[in-house]
Structure 1
Amino acid sequence: MKSIKSIFIILLIVLFVSFIGLTEEQVIVPQDLEGKTLPQIYMMRNEIFARRGRPFKTYELNNYFRSQDWYQIGVNEDGIVTYSDDRLTEIDRTNIEVLLEKEKELLQQNFIEINGIKKINTDNIINLWQFGELAPEDLERLSQFGFTIFPCRYPDPESDDVEWQPAPYEQFFWLYENNNYYGVANFITTDAILQLYHIFFDFTLRNLESEKLFPVVKELTNQMLELSKSLFEKAENKDVQHAALRNIAYFAVPQFFLTESERSYPHDIQTIIQSEIDKSTGAVGRENSEIFNPDFNPDIKHDMDYSQFIIRGHYTRSEELKRYFMALMWYGQNYFLADQQTDLLQSLIITKQLFDNSYNHLKLIELWETIYEPTVFYVGLSDDLGPQEYKIILDTVYGKNINFEDLSDPIKLAEAQKIAEEMYSKKKRIKTELYLIPSTAQFRFMGQRYIPDSEILQRLTKWTDTVPRIPLRPFPKGLDVMAVLGSRLATKIALEEHQIEGNIWKEYPENLEKLTVEFSQLTSNDWKTNLYYNWLFCLKSLLQLKSGYDYPFYMRNQAWEKKNLITSLASWSQLRHDVILYGSPSGAEKGGWEEWIPDPPKCQVEANPEFFGRMLELLIHSRDGLQQRDLLTKPMQEKFEKFIDLVEFLYQISLKEVTNQPVTNEEHEKLYTFGALLENLTISVMTDDESISNWFEIQSDTDKNVAVIADIHTAQIEVEENGQKIEKNLALEVGVGPVYEIYVVTEVDGYLKLTRGATFSYFEFLHPADDRLTDEKWQAMLKAGSNPPPPIWTQGFFSSKYPPEIPRLDYIYYFD
């Protein structure tokens, strides 16, 4: 049922397009048309044809006139056109000529120049009537930039405001399917494709983790625990026995996470193990870890951030994923120092056990590689030393045939430490600035990964070297990453904000420039080493538009740079969300009738062929890499093929747009049904159940919402509260909120037309690290309206209004 406001808008449309103050038999002269806009002239001319029963191939005209009671379409029951131009009277033909001349005159004014600045003449947007009442500020944005973005938000149920408050779109395809419902042309954004890739990346990764890796981690942990217990019982060397005891404690904690079964251990460590389990499952914040203290001495502190064990990302979705998260977080967070003899001995024992022992005819190191290698394909190599590097140390220092007692030789341990330090100095890694976290050589059983943006974030934070350490720039910004990846606008905003914030770290601009130069030297092959790098490579194509193309008006201004910057930041936050466990923190109608159907509306694709080309390469890289590792099922391969076909199609369309080649009706029809294809691909990836074909059948409400969140950096700083200075452990959160609406003016066959698409929202803020946000908490904050605002540099960029209520005509033609 239409709202009163919607009916009122439709009445205004009817008056706007139909009232000409002339009768059908009156000859129009140029003076009658003074003061009328191009859309009015356009509709007046086509109404003459409509009054004689002409069917309209132009989609919007067909829907409009089919909604008028007086319109009698000249098409018989078999769909054959019975209309011909013979029905036009001489007066009709004369009036059409006059109107067409006026139309041609007004078409020369599509773009106007004001104070030397080229703008769109919004009076010439031929289908503005389709979009209801646009506020003057939004018309000005359309004029100046060629687009405007509406920041959708959840309605306030307590508000007495009678203003139109639409519920926001929680998925991109909702908006595109809504366009079909209202007969509005699609503007297909890069955002929509990035969102779909996020779903492919995230769901293939979580399926890999829960179905393939979880049982392997479980068995490997159990084997390592049993080997440690056996060595403890048999070892005669006290140093080896003590190291084995500590390894029992080390593997007992993740064994509990994976199985939730309690076991008995030597009395010396039973209490310590339980304490460690309690701290981890309770995510108590930053505290001392007794397991990693030398000789289990509580007076020697091993600082550990237990808030990292708050289960988040996609790992909240199932029990297996929750357990997998806890175990892998344990292995990734905890380290053995090469400059501590007991730690080093523990690492060497673990390495020897991995390479010397088997399970089900597989060496334990092969089980380890079963976990590590596929995740390298997704995220990259560890930035710490691990079993593979320590095997080289074993062979170099101790030789091939050794027993465990040999490992405790102090002279050889010193030599092993030296080699470890040399290896570590050459390894690409994230240099941590967190207080009490050592930067010397470390061994991790399953280390977290080097990811380039974490290096950027880490190198653009700064503390003094004095004691106590004073923060100069304790928290980086998402802008830092995009600036280094090549966004001139991000660099400009970041430097401006640095000045506003007091320019405390005066070397920040110099360090930002140094990093930008370093990363600019990476080749295209460097950016394709794994899926994480390759995703960032796609984002670079948004931050630096390729030269040599004839880009449309809406892409030729700094406002579009900002839109692309927001898109890139939002997609990057999805990437960080997906790998949170692995990433190191930080005219007149033509004739020729056959069976009649209208032409599809003239949709548009964001005109960035470089992006779609890179996305195509990323998809092929993803498909082939999974296939080579025997990790791609036939149904998932078919889904990849459909996604690849879609992106290849969008690449071809975007290339046509920037090289001024015509897009066919068949291609426009496919663009118009984009929403349905997007929904089908999204549903098919989210579930393996072939019987599920409707969105409401998806079980996880969290997955059904596009909003996700990830903490990317942690720092402990001193803040003042209620007149007192206190230490606070804060996390930098980045995330995606509801889908925003973007209205874009495009030029089709010489006419300006308004299209509608979906784009990302982006949020970035500090939040207590002891309450690291899950997707569920973040979505609840958005719905309650308790979320922080978007970054300050985006203020004034978006419309201050709700998206207008789009009126729906009584007739809409649907394409299958």
Structure 2
Amino acid sequence: MKTKNILLILLILPACLLTYGQSGFSSDDYVQFLKQSKDMSYQDIQSEHTPAQSYYSGRSVEANPYSWLYFDTIVEKLELTKDEMDLIKQNHFMVSERLEYYSIEQVLQEMFRQDLPLLFTTDLVLQALHMSYDQILMDVEVWIMEPNLIKAIDKMYTDFPDLSGKYDDQPDLLTSLQDVDLYVTMVHSLIHGSLSSPHLIDEATFKEYWDAVQAEQQVNMSLFSSPDRIRRLDFSQFTPRGHYTLEYVYWPEAGKTLENYFKAMMWLGRIDFFMTPPPENPWELPWTKEEIRRMNISAFMLQELLHTHSIMDLLNENDKIITFFVGESDNLTPGEYEDIIAGSSVLAADELLNDAVYDPYYENIEASQDAGQRILSSFFLMDPYSEEPGKLPASFRVMGQKFIIDSYVFSNVVFDRIMYEGVKIWRPMPDPLDAMFVLGNDDALPLLEDELEEYKYASQLEALRYLVDAYDDDFWGESLYNTWLNGIRELNPPYVNDNLPYFMKTTAWHQEKLNTQLASWAQLRHDNLLYAKQSYTGGVGCSYPHVMVEPYPEFYGAIGTFAAMAYDYFKDYEEDSYIFFMIKNYFHSLETIMGKLEEIATYEVQKIPLTNDQMTWLQEMLTGGMASGPPIEGWLANLFYDVEKTREGDFVVADVHTQPTDQFGSVVGKVFHVGVGKLNLGVFLGNSPFDQYKPVAFVGPVMSYYEKITENWNRLTDELWKQDVWDDNLPERPDWTNIYLADKQGNSKVEGRELPGQLFMGTGVETIKPGQLVSSIDIYPNPVNENALIHFILMREASVVMNIYDATGRKVYEVLNKPMMAGEHWIEWSPGDMKEGIYFGVLQAGQSRSVVKIVVQ
């Protein structure tokens, strides 16, 4: 009984930490929920998250896409293949790898010059957001954060002799002083890119550590511990990647990069002092009180050093920016540690040599909610036979990496967090679909069926979903990272809406939106990889004639909130700085654009005709662009912080999880990467808000999402990934994209994982009854003014008669009287000189009859 209570406490404690301050969260309810959801099966969790609406996975009669305006033009200009056409007939849309583009500018300009109707996709907004965010973060790092960091580190290095002098008469503190010397000298060396001379430890010893860091591999060596206490240190994390390898083009001298800043911040963010012991395991002796005391004394001395000569003021300014961008640190921070020291009344490091002082101080650390870390982000051996997950040590870091909810999800659905029927389950790697489900997308769950059946982690997934569902708006507004993530969440399956086009009701579309969400999430992780804590496994004359905005109003609202938050944060920064003027101008423009798109998407969802001003604004999104001038012109250019970058290929990769060993303890160093490749083009059969929602075929850009696992601690850089893109050496896309995706030759792909769906039998939520030849009739628009389209599905070849009658039953118009082939039909019709009023259209096919009410204005 005691073990069960301990396990329950361990499960509840992270929940309390995660939902601290969240309105409406009840720990008692959560305890009850955990009891009810223990040892769930896939069937159990699936029954709790059945989609509110069934999706269409097939059609009894193929669509005739030529009934959609501009489809014949699209076929001609894009040279669609037979398989691409078949995908369109089946799902009313398709995306093709054959139609791939190097850059945003390339795809938009080509569609513009060919006068093709444009679907303004959420992919386009998210691509612009990523490119802008990444460059803005780089600007802030170059002009504020790196200079601050250099000043702070230089002060730490030059002030160390004063700290050493304070304790040089106490030999029992020498090892801790040497620890701080190693820590400070290493970060000083990293920020300046060359070896600095240590103050206390010998240069040969220091060079061993320097060489280990520079090798960028996992090593086993002591650190802030005795020579026989080996730590498993993953220095592969010090491989510069992301925008930190790029040359900063706006710097006065050539060759400026942020590689040194990256390595220094990685040291400050990942190298820690254990304030409590790491998890116990069968292969290592438990950490002793004296070993942990040494690290506590070292951390105390480092804390003293940080509070000299305004060092913390510089670091706090940087941390304030990073916290706004990403979130709070997942470790004991200098500020939180200062509170514990003050509460323990410890005035000097030597006092911690006395048990009478150290023991109550240590108890305060153990009791502190701030001291704990929630994400396993180090290489620890875990006991596979214990009855509870290993408890992570309290960890002191100067600029610790940030807690992000998706990484927390990953760390809790792998070994050793999965418990099933009292046994730990070996699951080496997470699936990004785990995070999508926890973030609220129920469509991810059926695609995880095989994983959930094999690794028995449905209870963990359900518990995580419960916690994330409990978050209120305050959490999603805590940082730009969370707000971006919330924008991705707004692409989760919408509520039932009959006004949505057919393609948005298909299983294929819902799997395509998972592609959009994961591609944007990959970009989000890429842009923040230095600061976000990674999880580990234990162990011209042209136009767009029609524009349809992808109808997700809440998504545009969330991105607008992101822009408003960022503008409000930066509004007080250096009025005379060109960089900050550009940043504020960008976020102000982004907020304005998102507001207009949110309004237009709301109109589309409700099938309200757009105003003339709205249509004009959409058509003015792109007004030109030339090789000698800006790549794109029009308000679309304002979606990008640096419009020149729209000419460039934006192929990015991010490592999101590390598996140190295999199930048998052999070191494998597997690294899970997510990446984004070239833009693909999709064709969509929709309804034009420009013309009473008549059927129009659109084209639009769609991102491509990839997953790749490397071994031997190999962390991919953007440069390596870009080369793989150009060499056509990328891994296969996730198999669940095959349902809507044609390959590079325009051929259909082999069947992969698919969501459950139903056969489409009619024109809406209604179905065609057995034996009935014709569906119900739709007419667009209705009321009718000058022209309309009559839509119906014929199950098999038949003679079709359609007449229009007035309210007295008098026949006033014959629309059809001829044999017709089976299929979906769109018939153009004009009321001519018919008077205003109510009429009825009656369509007869064999013994089947269908009636539609028509209002003529």
Shorter-chain TM-score range = 0.7 to 0.9
251, 260, 266: which one aligns with 2:193: 260
Q: CA separation in 2, counterparts of 1:337 and 1:422?
A: 15
Matched, 1:486 2:440: yes
Q: CA separation in 1, counterparts of 2:299 and 2:501?
A: 59
Q: Is the CA contact 2:418–2:425 (under 8 Å) kept in the aligned structure 1? A: no
Q: Any idea what SS the aligned residue of 1:583 has?
A: coil
Aligned to 2:551: 607
Distance 1:114 1:457, change over 3 A: closer
Q: Is the CA contact 1:573–1:736 (under 8 Å) kept in the aligned structure 2? A: yes
Matched, 1:569 2:518: yes
Post-superposition offset of 1:663: 2.2
Aligned to 1:202: 134
Q: CA separation in 2, counterparts of 1:237 and 1:576?
A: 46
Amino acid at match of 1:378: F
Distance 1:195 1:213, change over 3 A: same
Distance 1:234 1:747, change over 3 A: closer
Distance 1:765 1:525, change over 3 A: same
- Greater strand percent: which structure? 2
Q: CA separation in 2, counterparts of 1:365 and 1:451?
A: 24
Distance 1:579 1:282, change over 3 A: same
Matched, 1:214 2:157: no
Aligned to 1:457: 410
Aligned to 1:727: 667
Q: Is the CA contact 2:543–2:619 (under 8 Å) kept in the aligned structure 1? A: no
Instruction: List aligned pairs for 1:670-709, cutoff 5 A.
Output: 670-675=617-622, 679=632, 704-709=648-653
Q: Is the CA contact 2:557–2:595 (under 8 Å) kept in the aligned structure 1? A: yes
Q: Any idea what SS the aligned residue of 2:403 has?
A: coil
Q: Is the CA contact 1:714–1:769 (under 8 Å) kept in the aligned structure 2? A: no
Aligned to 2:704: 761
Post-superposition offset of 1:717: 3.1
Amino acid at match of 1:561: H
Distance 1:664 1:178, change over 3 A: farther
Q: CA separation in 2, counterparts of 1:613 and 1:788?
A: 34
Q: Any idea what SS the aligned residue of 1:525 has?
A: helix
Aligned to 2:205: 272
> Which structure has the higher relative contact order (CA within 8 Å, separation 6+)?
1
Aligned to 1:435: 380
Distance 1:656 1:622, change over 3 A: same
Q: Any idea what SS the aligned residue of 1:732 has?
A: strand
Q: Any idea what SS the aligned residue of 1:613 has?
A: helix
Q: CA separation in 2, counterparts of 1:540 and 1:685?
A: 20
Q: Is the CA contact 1:379–1:531 (under 8 Å) kept in the aligned structure 2? A: yes
Q: CA separation in 2, counterparts of 1:658 and 1:150?
A: 27
Q: CA separation in 1, counterparts of 2:542 and 2:105?
A: 24
Distance 1:686 1:220, change over 3 A: farther
Aligned to 1:151: 97
Matched, 1:533 2:482: yes
Q: CA separation in 2, counterparts of 1:743 and 1:513?
A: 36
Q: Any idea what SS the aligned residue of 2:706 has?
A: strand
Q: Structure 2 length normalisation: TM-score?
A: 0.69
Amino acid at match of 2:375: I
For residues 628-685 of structure 1, what are the alpha-carbon distances to aligned partners after superposition, in whole Å with 9 as ceiling and x for unaligned?
5669712222222222222222112211111112224553343344356994689889
Question: What number of residue pairs does the alignment pair up?
Answer: 636
Q: Any idea what SS the aligned residue of 1:733 has?
A: strand
Q: Is the CA contact 1:636–1:685 (under 8 Å) kept in the aligned structure 2? A: no
Post-superposition offset of 1:268: 3.5
Amino acid at match of 1:345: I
Distance 1:433 1:407, change over 3 A: closer
Q: Which moved more, 1:740-749 or 1:189-198?
A: 740-749
Q: Any idea what SS the aligned residue of 1:674 has?
A: coil
Q: Any idea what SS the aligned residue of 1:474 has?
A: coil
Aligned to 1:142: 88
Aligned to 1:741: 681
Post-superposition offset of 1:774: 0.4
Please, what is the CA RMSD of the aligned residues? 3.0
- Greater helix percent: which structure? 1
Q: CA separation in 2, counterparts of 1:599 and 1:180?
A: 5
Q: Is the CA contact 1:249–1:291 (under 8 Å) kept in the aligned structure 2? A: no
Q: Is the CA contact 1:218–1:258 (under 8 Å) kept in the aligned structure 2? A: yes
Amino acid at match of 1:621: M
Q: CA separation in 2, counterparts of 1:116 and 1:207?
A: 51
Q: CA separation in 1, counterparts of 2:685 and 2:638?
A: 33
Amino acid at match of 2:485: L
Distance 1:584 1:118, change over 3 A: farther
Q: Is the CA contact 1:718–1:728 (under 8 Å) kept in the aligned structure 2? A: yes
For residues 515-556 of structure 1, what are the alpha-carbon distances to aligned partners after superposition, in whole Å with 9 as ceiling and x for unaligned?
112211111222111111111111111013145673222212
Matched, 1:336 2:273: yes
Post-superposition offset of 1:430: 1.1
Post-superposition offset of 1:388: 0.7
465, 472, 486: which one aligns with 2:426: 472
650, 654, 659: which one aligns with 2:606: 659
Q: Is the CA contact 2:150–2:191 (under 8 Å) kept in the aligned structure 1? A: yes
Aligned to 1:417: 362
Amino acid at match of 2:88: L
Q: CA separation in 2, counterparts of 1:267 and 1:336?
A: 19
Post-superposition offset of 1:584: 1.1
Post-superposition offset of 1:620: 0.7
Aligned to 2:662: 718
Aligned to 2:301: 349
Post-superposition offset of 1:709: 0.3
Aligned to 2:258: 321
Q: Which moved more, 1:538-547 or 1:331-340?
A: 538-547
Q: CA separation in 2, counterparts of 1:600 and 1:256?
A: 55
Q: CA separation in 1, counterparts of 2:113 and 2:73?
A: 12
Post-superposition offset of 1:217: 1.1
Q: CA separation in 2, counterparts of 1:695 and 1:203?
A: 10
Q: Identity over aligned residues, as a percent?
A: 24
Instruction: List aligned pairs for 1:163-312, cutoff 5 A.
Output: 168-235=100-167, 236-266=169-199, 268-283=201-216, 285-294=217-226, 297=227, 299-312=228-241
Amino acid at match of 1:798: L
Q: CA separation in 2, counterparts of 1:788 and 1:570?
A: 15
Aligned to 1:74: none
Q: Any idea what SS the aligned residue of 2:213 has?
A: helix
Post-superposition offset of 1:407: 4.6
Aligned to 1:378: 325
Q: CA separation in 2, counterparts of 1:604 and 1:728?
A: 49
Q: Is the CA contact 1:189–1:606 (under 8 Å) kept in the aligned structure 2? A: yes
Q: Which moved more, 1:322-331 or 1:764-773?
A: 764-773
764, 777, 781: which one aligns with 2:720: 777
Q: Is the CA contact 2:112–2:544 (under 8 Å) kept in the aligned structure 1? A: no
Amino acid at match of 2:728: G
Post-superposition offset of 1:233: 3.7
